Amino acid sequence: MSATMAASRILFLSSLLLSFFMASYGAGNLQQNFDITWGDGRAQILNNGELLTLSLDKISGSGFQSKNQYLFGKIDMQLKLVPGNSAGTVTAYYLSSLGSTHDEIDFEFLGNLSGDPYILHTNVFTQGKGNREQQFYLWFDPTKDFHTYSVLWNPQHILFSVDGTPIREFKNLESRGIPFPKNQPMWIYSSLWNADDWATRGGLVKTDWSKAPFIASYRNFNSQACIWTSGSSSCSSNSNNNSTSWLKEGLDSTGQAKIKWVQSNYMIYNYCTDTKRFPQGLPLECTLTT
């Protein structure tokens, strides 16, 4: 092989490797995956797409939205929440469709007084109906570093996880008459906003605007998901491939044990035990185990 041919081959291989790394990087690049949708400059994408920040002050909060819609997905995002006295603020990270009969899968982080724990608020909407709240304390300080918050949404169930530890499962019980989100593609949204009428101790603690601006940070978005475009799913033709094995992924005995541990030690509210809220009887899914 001549020196010229060898040099050309090295250049070609280098280009392939560069393309591979650029594609891998793009999978987590926030600028490629999200649009800032509101906030009048309070949201920023930084470090060539590696970091996104949302900001809230007395005038306005801010938010972003995914460029793609998804119909099922395994989605991770790392968040570092507002530090210090964040009372009255809510950092919302969720999937949602549109309309009065929308579906939605929620992570909401309710701000706290300095030294008090954050509350992680979760909810699932089906056909416009929510009221399925579960709330947790976290077993770490979510303002000190980034932590991974994940949703696995497939035809079998919705699984909420924190740093790989499952905390909540919403099963598909359509066979028992309970709607399940499976027909409406959803966007990913996030926002940082003022909710001091309810967010902290039921609205007793108001936002201290002397601490503004409040800032939440995002990085390392990763998705294995079915992208919805022009009325069809990117998974339709290859749903049996290993790359979409998560579409059939369930919760094994280890995962079930982890959920039990989290819910025994860190759950602070479960709609399925709130008989005062549902005096006529708990929602049907609360009474079914299979």
Q: Which residues are catalytic?
A: 104, 108
DSSP secondary structure code for residue 126 in this structure: B
| Token reading at 22 | 């650029």
Burial bucket for residue 14 (CB in 10 Å: 0-12, 13-18, 19+): exposed
Alpha-carbon distances of 261 from 135, 165, 166, 177, 288, rounded to whole Å: 14, 10, 10, 29, 20
Q: Among all chains, which residue has been given the structure tokens 């291989």?
A: 13
φ/ψ of 194, rounded to 5, equals -90, 125
CA separation for the pair 33, 54 (Å, rounded):
16
CA separation for the pair 159, 249 (Å, rounded):
10
CB–CB of 173/158 below 8 Å? no
CB–CB of 235/247 below 8 Å? yes
CA separation for the pair 181, 102 (Å, rounded):
9
Q: How far apart are the first and last CA of the chain?
A: 66
